[in-house]
Copies of this chain bind each other. A is one copy, B any other.
Amino acid sequence: MTKLLLSFLLLSTHVMAQQEDSLFIRSIADEILVSGKAYENLRVLCKTVGGRLAGSPQTAKAESWGMNTLQQAGADRVYLQECTVPHWERGGKDVAWIQYTDEKGKSVTANLDVLALGNSLGTGKQGVKAPVILINNFDELEKRKDEVKGKIVFYNYPFNPRYVVTMRAYGESGLYRRSGPSRAAKYGAVAVMIRSMSESTDNNPHTGSTSYDSAYPKIPCAAMGLRDADKLSQLLQGNKTITGYLKTGGHFLPDTIAHNVIGEWRGTEKPDEIITVGGHLDSWDPAEGAHDDGAGCVHSIEVLRVLKQLGYKPRHTIRVVLFANEENGARGGMKYAEEAKQKAEKHLFALESDDGGFTPRGFGVTIAPDKLQKMRGWLPLLIPYGVYEFSAGGGGTDIGPLGRTLQTPLAGLSPDTQRYFDVHHARNDVFENVNKRELELGAVNITALIYLVDKYGL
């Protein structure tokens, strides 16, 4: 009887706790959906700062926006964590065209809409003019390596539409952006153009970092929009001889200083144990970095603002971190982990939002299986707000080093992925392409998860 009674009491306590959590998460959602600040904060970041690549004049403006916004959100302490960042500049408008003879024997020149890849080196003022060779994938590159010398390699590796989770297509085609230029340079290519990593129906080119292998010449490289890529590949498949021209101005200035912007809210019970929630403050230059990753920044700031507004007392210290330089160096994330290690900080959990401000569907979590199981027990509390799964594996570029260095459990918000690569690293990643409610629901679920982790531990 006593045992039964105890079980009953424990069960009652569990049910009551669940009800309390359910009510509290409802109050989180109400605050965000009715009086949320994420959307307005994002508007200010996008419209008053705009694109903010590490080292650009906008970097300091963005940091100052971050400090102000975190202060207004109610952080106990807002501070900057300095880090050295690369300073790459586009160096003017990227230009490309192709020239060929059409069916009627007429010479045709057609412009391509291109963006130089981040971290790439420019062509010089004269640009590069050379025959274009179509290479569909690395296997083909190896087979045709003897034909590449002196040419512009055009990688037309498609963004696989079969994958329902578009990140998977990005994972595959991203190789061509990252290592394609050096692999072509190895065989004597003079420049590289790639098909943008996207499935959009427009012709916007999508930039993003490339990474040179120092063993080979650092040849210029640019991405083109999908319509141009389709057209060019059709022409080349028809065995047309095509001359390509590319002029880009990418170059590095000396490394410079940027900062992680950190808003801290001291824990009441275990102030030495830290929960990190963040996004990255930098963005590519041609757009406003609205989804990538203004959304993650305002999501994270909203966690602090809302829990504070609701009178919550965090057990652990909650740190909102707006990371520097994710896009072309990831130095902010490395610095954060490095300093955490130096100071022997205890990190309970870190969550990143860097997959855009779309409707949330789940979280990806890198954590021990038994703890993942525990987290899955929270799902009934999140399902009403659209999150229905904790999948194994996840985190983010900026919190990755924390996981590797301190074995901190990591999570990443998994929003719906269908529209992400329509805007990712492209000029249409602007505030107008973020939906207010989709953005807000991301903040609701992140705030709820941070609350649960803080309350119950891991």
Contacts and interface: CB of A to CB of B under 8 A. Distances in A.
Contacts of A418: 359, 435, 437-438, 441
Interface string A143-161: 0000000000000000001
A83 interface: no
A184 B161 CA distance: 53
Contacts of A162: 29-30, 33-34
B438 A164 contact: no
A46 to B, nearest CB: 14
Contact of A164 (B164, B361, B436, B441): B441
Contacts of A385: 164
B416 A435 contact: no
A166 B386 CA distance: 12
B29 A164 contact: yes
Interface in A199-245: 199, 201
B386 A388 contact: no
Interface in A401-458: 416, 418-419, 422, 435-438, 441
B359 A416 contact: yes
Contacts of A380: none
A386 B362 CA distance: 11
Given A162-B29, A359-B416, A386-B164, A422 B441 contact: no
Interface string A361-395: 10000000000000000000000111011000000
B441 A419 contact: no
Given A201-B436, A436-B201, A437-B199, A161 B419 contact: no
Contacts of A388: 388-389
A287 B34 CA distance: 29
A47 B438 CA distance: 28
Nearest to A33: B161
A416 B416 contact: yes
Contacts of A438: 418-419
A406 B33 CA distance: 41
Contacts of A384: 164
Nearest to A35: B161
Contacts of A386: 164, 361
A441 B164 CA distance: 8
Going nearest first, the 6 A-B pairs with the smallest beta carbon separation are A418-B437, A33-B161, A418-B438, A359-B416, A388-B388, A359-B418
25 contacts: A29-B164, A30-B162, A33-B161, A33-B162, A33-B164, A34-B161, A34-B162, A161-B437, A164-B385, A164-B441, A199-B436, A199-B437, A201-B436, A359-B359, A359-B416, A359-B418, A361-B386, A388-B389, A416-B416, A418-B435, A418-B438, A418-B441, A419-B437, A419-B438, A422-B435
